[in-house]
Amino acid sequence: MIVAAGTSLTLSSAEPMFVTQSIILSPITDTFRVYLQRPTAVLPLAWSASAKVQVALVVVLDGVEHRCTSVVSGGIRLDETGQELPTYSLCYAPTWGFFGNPASTKRLGETAKNTYTGHVEFRLVAGNVAHLNLLRTVCTERVAPFVAFHSSVAFDAATDASENAGDGVVSLSHTATGSNLAAWAGCGSHFPPFAGSTTYAGSAMTELVDQVFAVDANYFHAAYVLAGIPSGASTVTNTLTGTPARSGLQVITMTGVDQTTPNGTAVVTDALNTSISVTVGSVNPNDLVVDTAWARTNLTVGVDQTLRNIELDIAGANAISLGGSTQPGSLGGVMSWTHDGTGGSQIGLIAVAFKPTAAAAPIPASPLVGNLRW
């Protein structure tokens, strides 16, 4: 659903803010995305490389704001092939999960009692922008997937965001509920790759992996964890050390996690292939294995995993996919993904097992694990 299009903006020190009209969102809104026209040689626009604009996608649930923000500079930006990037985009997938009720999963909007709306905010950070084209904002809708509740380490909620031709800092609002909480954050960037850091509710997350793809130096991926996170809506911020052509951030939270030693040892691999897999070691039946996959278009999750995050179109024709999934420890810890190789065969994968609290009762493995989804 396209909710706005064709607006020309002017931002200056006298008028540094522009806010689009608020629109009613569907309760099952899956993604909320904004597109801006970037300067090119043919359409230079009055938006210099020194002028910066903060873009915020804002969804309002019963009067409470949930945000995804990024900063984007002007000037001409090139991709890895030397082609100009004509469009900036920012995408926010609002939180979905159990929201404290293990009976069924819901989208964020399905928890609204009164209203669920969305709008976009633009704020001048530096310089002046005499001509900024808001091409369109688009919402997609999808029913939250069915997930069986796991009585030990359990999936709680998932949120993700992505940007194209931005400045490498993305913040999103993620809502966690339950006890003994822990968070996983996976991120990736493309051309050029940049190391970074991630915070959850202002606290630095522990970095498990921070790696440039060995098979293609244009790719970077990383993963972070943090136990003891607060219940409720919190801001998660991923900061890269440069300005990649494309980047993505995913967040998954879990309940029932040991607060002292929340996770085991992470495993990571990358390949020039259309498929990839890793085996997480020392996985117990009460664990929950979580992963992040970062590749070119059309990622497909492995048969023994449940999809939690997916960004299929971060950059249009030069798309990059960011996927996240979970698997109950009773299935053994083999995590795998495939993709169709469109635009190249680079693919990377990071996975780790989250460990239960000491009070968790053992859950025996079922002989019918082939069709289980968690």
Residue 12 CA, chain-centre distance (Å), reads 31
Ranges of residues in the chain with a pLDDT under 50 are 360-374
Q: What pLDDT score does 5 carry?
A: 62
Residue partners of 44: CB distance under 8 A and separation at least 6: none
- Give tens-digit pLDDT for 233-248: 999 999 998 888 888 9
pTM of the model: 0.89
Q: What pLDDT score does 3 carry?
A: 53
SS3 of residue 318 by DSSP:
helix
Residue partners of 351: CB distance under 8 A and separation at least 6: 266, 267, 268, 278, 280, 289, 290, 291, 292, 333, 335
Residue given tokens 């540094």 in the structure block: 16
Q: What pLDDT score does 362 carry?
A: 47
CB neighbours (10 Å) of residue 242?
Answer: 13
**Residue 321 in tokens:** 């996919």
- Give tens-digit pLDDT for 60-119: 999 999 999 999 999 999 887 888 999 999 999 999 999 988 889 999 999 999 999 999
